[in-house]
Structure 1
C-alpha cells in the first residue's frame, strides 16, 4: 500500500510596496463611497470657506491696505490664496474625526485582522480626504471667480499653485491622523484638530500683510509653513501681495512650501503609523 502525498505550494508574498499601494487604494475607495452616501459631509465642508470668502471680501475689503491701496478688488485677489490655504488645512479636523470614529467603532480592529499593509488604513483615509479637498477647492475657485478673483499667469503656474495647496492639505491630514489616533472620541478629534489651526492660519500672511505686524509676530508669520504656501500661490497666481520680507521662506516661497509640506508628511506619517501599530497591538 502506497501513500501519495500532495505538496501544497504557498505562493510567495507579493511586493510589499505594491501590496501597500493596492490596500491603500481599496481603503480610499471605501471612504469615498462612504462620503458619497453622506453628501452633507461635503456640503457642510463647502459652506465655511464660502462664508469666509464673502465676509472677508465685502466686510474687510475696503479697509485693508494692500500694495499701497485700499481698493476692495485688490484685496479680494490678495485674500483668495489665504482662503484656499485655510480651506485645505481645515481638512485636518475631518481627517482626525474620521479616524477617531473608525477607532471608536472598532473598524480599525477589523482592518487589522485582514492580511493588509498596516499603513494602508491611514494612507487610504488621507487619500480620500485629499479627493474631497480637491473637490472643495474646485467649488471654492468658482465662487472666487464670481466675487472678482482673477489670475494673471499661465495655466501651468495656476495648476502649480493648486498642486502646492493640495500638497499642503495632504500634509496636514497626516497631522489630523495623528490627532485622531491619540484621542478617544471623534468630538475630541474635531476640537483637537481645529484649536491649533486658528493661530497657524491667522498668525500668517493669509489675511493681512505680515509687514504691518509687530516685529516678533512678523518673524513668526514669515517662517510659518502656512505663510510659505500662501505666498507661493500669490506669486503663481500673479495676485497682489509681493512680500518685502527678507526671510528665506518669503524670498523662495515655492521651494519653502514644497520643503515644509514634504517634511510634515514624512514626520507625521511616521508618527501616525507608529501610533497606529501601538494602538492596535
Structure 2
C-alpha cells in the first residue's frame, strides 16, 4: 500500500492529493450542473469557499465533541492537527455555512443550490475514501474473507492483518450515490428532494458500513457516534423529501419579499 508519491525532491501525500482531487471534481460538477440550471457562478464559488471553511471547522469540532473524555485526560489532543477530522462534522459544517452564506449574504434560495451541490459532495467523498485507503485510516475489522486488504506500513491500521477494505466499499458507495443523485435530479423537479435523497442514501450506507469498521469512532450504547448521526440524517432526509414542496413555496415567497424590500430601499 502506498501513501506517498515521490517525484524527485517533491513528495505527494496520497490522502491530501485525493482530498484535493475530490474538491476540484466537486467544484467542476457543481459549476457545470449549476450553469445548466441557471444558477449563479459567483454564488457557487462562494458556497465552495464557505463549504471548505465550514467543513474543516465542523470536522474538527465534532472530533472534539466525540473525544471529550480523552481530551479531559490529555488536553494536548486539542493541538494535534495531524489527526482528528470527522466526516459527518464536515458535512454538517459545510451545509450550515453555505446556508448562512446564501440566506444572509446572497439573498438566494437555498434548496436549488443544495440539490446541485450534494451529488458532487458524494463524489468528492468517494475520492476522499480512496485517500483513507492509501493512508490506512477508517480501516475495517479483521476478516478471513478472500476479499481483504493487508496493510504493511500504515500508521493507523494494524499491519500484517487481513482486514475488510471498508474504505473501498465506502468509496464505491459514495460514487454510486453521486451517480444516482445526478440521474435522479434530471427527472425530479421539486427542489430539495435530490439533497433529501443524499441524506437518506448516505445515512443508510454509512450506518451499514459502521458495522464493518474496527477503528475507534466513539459510541453511544451499541451504536457508534456515526450511526447515531446517520439515523438522525435519514430522518431529516425523509422529512425534507416530504416537506420539499411546502419549503419551495416558502422560499419563493421569502425571496419575493426580500426583492420588494430591496426595491423600497433603492427608492
Q: Is this a same-fold pair by TM over 0.5?
A: no
Q: With CA pairs under 8 Å and 6+ residues apart, which has the higher RCO, 1 or 2? A: 1
Of Structure 1 and Structure 2, the greater helix share is in 1
With structure 1 as the length reference, what TM-score do the two structures score? 0.38
TM-score by length of 2: 0.39
> Who wins on radius of gyration, i.e. which is larger?
1
